[in-house]
Amino acid sequence: MPIAVDIDVMLAKRKMSVGELAERVGITPANLAVLKNGRAKAVRFTTLAALCEVLDCQPGDLLRFEPEAGPESGSGPRPRAALEGAG
């Protein structure tokens, strides 16, 4: 997936455990692990905002774009109609 999640980096910088972060954000450690390991398909803005508040960071400190390699990856821009339907 072209979105990389760097929650581990911020956890290390803040010397915080996954369990403590999950408790302070209000999500289960299992759901935080899914997000942290890059297996999540989506993240709510409210969750992202809570993560940023607890970790005292910006969304860009937690998420970054990594283009997929090669033209066969199909990572070109999505048609506008497809974007409008995504909610």
In which band, very low, low, confident or very high, does the pLDDT at 71 lie, cut at 50, 70 and 90? Answer: low
Q: Is 65 helix (H, G, I), strand (E, B) or coil?
A: strand
Looking at residue 72, what DSSP letter applies? G
How far is it, in rounded angstroms, from Cα 35 to Cα 5?
7
Q: What is the pTM of this model?
A: 0.76
The alpha carbon of residue 12 and the mean position of all alpha carbons in its chain are separated, in whole angstroms, by: 16
Q: Residue 5: which of 59, 78, 46 has the closest Cα?
A: 59
Q: For 53, what's the count of Cα atoms within 13 Å in the CB-facing half-sphere? A: 10
Tokens of 82: 């497809």
Convert the pLDDT of each residue in 14-57 to its tens digit. 999 999 999 999 999 999 999 999 999 999 999 999 999 999 99
**What per-residue confidence (pLDDT) applies to 1?**
67
